[in-house]
Structure 1
Amino acid sequence: MDLIRHLRFFVAVADEGHFGRAATALDMTQPPLSQGIQRLEKHLGVELLHRTRQGAMLTSAGSRLLPRARLLVDDAQQLLAESQRLAQSRGAVHWGVTPALPGALVTAGVSALRASVDSGAAVSTTVGSTVELVGEVRAGVCDIAVIEHPALVDGVESGPVVKLPRWLVVPADHPVAAAERPTFPMLGGLTFAHSPRAANPPAFDSLTDLFRERGLDPHPVLAADDRTLFAAVAAGTSFAVTTTAPTATPGIAWLRLAPHALALRARVIRRPGAEPFAAAVDRVLYRERIR
């Protein structure tokens, strides 16, 4: 009996509360799913689910065993991801970066990683939210990742926090752009273009708390990346923060307000055994830090 496969059946039915929906989620038909649950119950010697007209309900035993079943299924998925990574890597390095990092720093990181592995080894780069990257490093899909701090990093190893330069960008025709002494409250009429809070709740909350401490309580609007962010600013409706260094851009002005407080706090997280890769990227971040 394939215990993990049958536990996956059990977890799916428990999550969906219905055999039909669980079968759809598992890309199978309902009869073999029901038979699989019955075989699992016979193997374990306990009833896991009550069958009802409305769907499926956990028994007392099912409720107690579900957390452990879920752990076993998750661990099996992580084992599979790690084995695939090892089989496909052949010396390659898989790393991830938050979209907040400037492009020049990403390419510098790739160069540093290439120098840290065997000649000819590939370096693959994933761009994702901090929450996504922590999950991928935890699962072994990525060897290392550069994420925003603060963040929840349970289950992964992490390096020191480094402050990277970050600027405010505002509409070029807004009064704050021409002010001799610009302040945060002067941005009060603008919305705050930023990635969604779900991408990294602790970092988002830390930044908005900083604004409030400085007398600004902005309304956030979604900007998935720098292009979307710059478009919102150029439209005259938003301000934003970016690690992209000042450059001549129509409709946009850069402000250097509270540079240390506003700095992007970044750190490298890693899977066990990826310390050399993490050290190579740490050196890149350290070179680009705020002096």
Structure 2
Amino acid sequence: MDLIGHVRCFVAVAEERHFGRAAARLGMAQPPLSQRMQRLERELGVRLFDRSSRQVTITRSGALLLEEARALLDRSEEFLACATRIKDGQSGLLRAALPSGLARETVAAILADLHQHHPSVELELEELSTTDQLARLASHDLEVGLIHHPCDVAGLELGPVLRCELGVLLPRASLLAARDEVPLASLTGLGLVLFPRADAPAVYDDLLTTCARNGYTPDSLRHGQGDSFVHGLILSVNAVAFSPPDRGTAAGSPSSEVVWRPLAGAPLAWRYSVAWPHGRKDTAIHAFADAVPRALWNTAAVSTDPPPRPLHLRPASEYWL
């Protein structure tokens, strides 16, 4: 038995006190309506109406059930509306990811934007490398993420590609720290602290290739990501690291032993875009895809980078240890 349908018929008859008017209100013929009421009474074991040739009177039992019936219909409508919102991506759980290294202000701005414009979206946000994001997007364990270019974007739709120029983190005591800009070639003889290659192989190779083409071949390569760990390596192993300016702000304070300086000619940059599986048009995904660029524009000094350059997978790095 279609319980919701039968209850809807019961409420209509109870309110109209007339099978003909109730049938017209429901857009159905009177005989099927009468049959539905008879079946509902049999299923419930309760007589709902007293019928005569002239009128329909709701019984005491029917009157007691009427408010419950109305509440059930209200809940069923809320249930269906919620299902529609979930289907359209307007509410429910959105599984999203960001790469490591974003400024805390950027992450906070993304969350604030989503909460303001789409408060019904429950966001499950993770910090994942580009490699992990691509794998989980392909397996449908992730719905949207912010990835680094270049990488393999087959099967994905992309938001605008944004460029964030990189500078160099140096010991304050270094002679290079006295310069307003640091040429890449002047880093010769220094080691480099870089993220693990497995996190974004094409980005890793592209960065080392650009360094080599601009006259810098690192004396050694060490891997690390956390600010404290990276700063410790810079101060102890004769190495430098590349970083966006927002991460260099705190490091550039007078009390810090590590400072950030721009690179001459801005040869290095992170290139980001939001990515999601091709064909997905959920409202929540597009809300995330809108919020992330806004946050990067407002907090991370990004610029628009015209395609297709950041989307092209170059050969492996021209530099080897």
TM-score, normalised on structure 2? 0.57
Whole-Å separation in 1 of the counterparts to 2:189 and 2:119: 53
* Equivalent residue number for residue 269 of structure 2: 263
Over 3 Å counting, the alpha-carbon distance change for 1:260 and 1:267 in structure 2 is farther
Secondary structure at the residue paired with 2:267? Answer: helix
Deviation at 1:231, TM superposition (A): 1.6
Whole-Å separation in 2 of the counterparts to 1:209 and 1:225: 24
Deviation at 1:133, TM superposition (A): 1.0
Aligned ranges for residues 32-111 of structure 1 at < 5 Å?
91-111=92-112
Cα displacement string for residues 212-254 of structure 1 (whole angstroms, at most 9, x for unaligned residues): 1211011321113333212211225210012213222532121
Whole-Å separation in 2 of the counterparts to 1:115 and 1:164: 26
* Equivalent residue number for residue 147 of structure 1: 147
Whole-Å separation in 1 of the counterparts to 2:182 and 2:101: 24
* Equivalent residue number for residue 196 of structure 1: 196
Whole-Å separation in 2 of the counterparts to 1:108 and 1:198: 28
Whole-Å separation in 1 of the counterparts to 2:164 and 2:187: 23
Whole-Å separation in 2 of the counterparts to 1:102 and 1:259: 23
* Equivalent residue number for residue 4 of structure 1: none
Confirm or deny: 8 A CA contact 2:181 2:263 kept in the other structure. no
Confirm or deny: 8 A CA contact 1:211 1:217 kept in the other structure. yes
Deviation at 1:257, TM superposition (A): 1.0
* Equivalent residue number for residue 250 of structure 1: 256
Residue 238 of structure 2 is aligned to residue 237 of structure 1: yes
Over 3 Å counting, the alpha-carbon distance change for 1:289 and 1:222 in structure 2 is same
* Count of matched residue positions in the alignment of Structure 1 and Structure 2: 204
Over 3 Å counting, the alpha-carbon distance change for 1:98 and 1:191 in structure 2 is same
* Equivalent residue number for residue 73 of structure 2: none
Structure 2: gaps spanning 5 or more residues: 1-85, 304-321
- Percent of paired sites with the same residue: 23
Over 3 Å counting, the alpha-carbon distance change for 1:229 and 1:151 in structure 2 is same
Over 3 Å counting, the alpha-carbon distance change for 1:111 and 1:141 in structure 2 is farther
Confirm or deny: 8 A CA contact 1:114 1:122 kept in the other structure. no
Over 3 Å counting, the alpha-carbon distance change for 1:191 and 1:111 in structure 2 is same
Confirm or deny: 8 A CA contact 1:192 1:239 kept in the other structure. yes
Deviation at 1:146, TM superposition (A): 0.9
Whole-Å separation in 1 of the counterparts to 2:264 and 2:126: 31
Secondary structure at the residue paired with 2:208? Answer: helix
Confirm or deny: 8 A CA contact 1:163 1:260 kept in the other structure. no
* Equivalent residue number for residue 291 of structure 2: 280
Amino acid at match of 1:108: A
Deviation at 1:259, TM superposition (A): 6.2
Deviation at 1:211, TM superposition (A): 1.0
- Pick 1 or 2: higher relative contact order, CA cutoff 8 A, min separation 6: 2
Whole-Å separation in 2 of the counterparts to 1:180 and 1:105: 26
Amino acid at match of 1:131: T
> What RMSD, in angstroms, separates the aligned Cα atoms of the two structures?
2.5
Confirm or deny: 8 A CA contact 1:116 1:280 kept in the other structure. no
Confirm or deny: 8 A CA contact 1:226 1:242 kept in the other structure. no
Amino acid at match of 1:284: A
Whole-Å separation in 1 of the counterparts to 2:104 and 2:144: 18
Whole-Å separation in 2 of the counterparts to 1:180 and 1:112: 35
Amino acid at match of 1:235: S
Whole-Å separation in 2 of the counterparts to 1:117 and 1:264: 28
Over 3 Å counting, the alpha-carbon distance change for 1:242 and 1:185 in structure 2 is same
Whole-Å separation in 2 of the counterparts to 1:277 and 1:179: 39
Structure 1: gaps spanning 5 or more residues: 1-84
Confirm or deny: 8 A CA contact 2:180 2:262 kept in the other structure. no
TM-score, normalised on structure 1? 0.63
* Equivalent residue number for residue 9 of structure 1: none
Q: State the structure with more CA Rg.
A: 2
Residue 124 of structure 2 is aligned to residue 124 of structure 1: yes
Confirm or deny: 8 A CA contact 1:173 1:236 kept in the other structure. no
Moved over 4 A (4+): none
Secondary structure at the residue paired with 1:133? Answer: helix
Whole-Å separation in 1 of the counterparts to 2:224 and 2:177: 21
Amino acid at match of 1:245: G
Whole-Å separation in 2 of the counterparts to 1:214 and 1:246: 26
